[in-house]
Amino acid sequence: MKRTHQYRFEGTGFSTIPQLIQHHFSTKQVITKKSGVVLLNPVVKDKKWILNHEDVTLGELLGKGNFGEVFKGTLQRDKTAVAVKTCKEDLPPELKIRFLSEARILKQYDHPNIVKLIGVCTQRQPIYIVMELVPGGDFLSFLRKKKDELKTKQLVRFAVDAAAGMAYLESKNCIHRDLAARNCLVGDGNLLKISDFGMSRQEDDGVYSSSGLKQIPIKWTAPEALNYGRYSSESDVWSYGILLWETFSLGVCPYPGMTNQQAREQVEKGFRMSCPQRCPDDVYRVMQRCWQYNPEDRPKFCELQRDLAAVKRK
């Protein structure tokens, strides 16, 4: 409909109809009944995941993500506490698509060690991704805050949880690409959950080639991903080894005293981080297997889960 010499359905107006169509094609923004538009061939959506903005009340600010702010919120239907990721309204359409890609990935998964999607609000700006609220917050902050209280046995349990979540993703051909303590959450009973799927990809052959990826987490990323842009479950295994090191060093930044470039150069020369003080020898051997230079020599996540569960039982 045309208002003030602009064409719009809901939200942003455009001076021409092609611009309006391109906007909705690029952003995948839903056109609802509120616009008054009758669609001749409507796309049937999975209603389970569709929420209205009015269904969610925003509360305190929890932090800031790559695409916008994260709030604590409340679902109006049953007063459930949730986490709400918001997308900045001024982001270009391609980044808004990337923002929603996390929800498209998460809606396929159901595992205790993977953060759960509740729904998305796309009818108007800002776009919301609504997820379960994990009360313990991010794992990195948790480690640093609780470092004087955490026992080695609990650290091993965290390691098993992370391996279980990643083994599930591996079985689904999902490549996380940004596995790190900062991207895990601690739930009730100290249950660890893998989170932050903003960089994730699901590939039929389990390999994703990237060119021009920005803001690569150098110290967590496998050599073949840094050098050739090749991501796979094996590159996630390398990152898992770094996550293990973070866990048993109680939140110390990897490769202490080194810049990103220095760490990258040293890894190419064969350097690997030493065993953290609190780390059992069995777990450090697992780390070393994760850091094999050849991706094919690294273990599968199902093997890591099995081996660390055996350490946990000791």
Catalytic residues: 178
140, two tokens: 């990195």
Nearest to 99 by CA among 79, 84, 116: 84
Residue 297 annotated in ligand binding: no
| Contact by Cβ (8 Å): 17, 8 | no
- CA angle (96, 102, 108) in 5-degree steps: 135
| Contact by Cβ (8 Å): 182, 246 | no
Residues 6+ apart with CB under 8 A from 313: none
C-alpha torsion angle, residues 302, 303, 309, 313 (rounded to 10): 150
Residue 183 annotated in ligand binding: yes
Residue 260 annotated in ligand binding: no
Residue 148 annotated in ligand binding: no
| Contact by Cβ (8 Å): 156, 284 | no
Q: What is the gyration radius of the CA atoms in the chain, in angstroms?
A: 22
Nearest to 174 by CA among 182, 165, 162, 183: 165
Q: How distant, in Å, are the alpha carbons of 5, 115, 127, 293 from that of 58?
A: 34, 19, 13, 46
| Contact by Cβ (8 Å): 224, 235 | yes
Nearest to 63 by CA among 72, 74, 54, 52: 72
Binding-site residues for Mg(2+) = 183, 196
Binding residues: 85, 182-183, 196
Q: Which residues are annotated as a binding site for ATP?
A: 85, 182
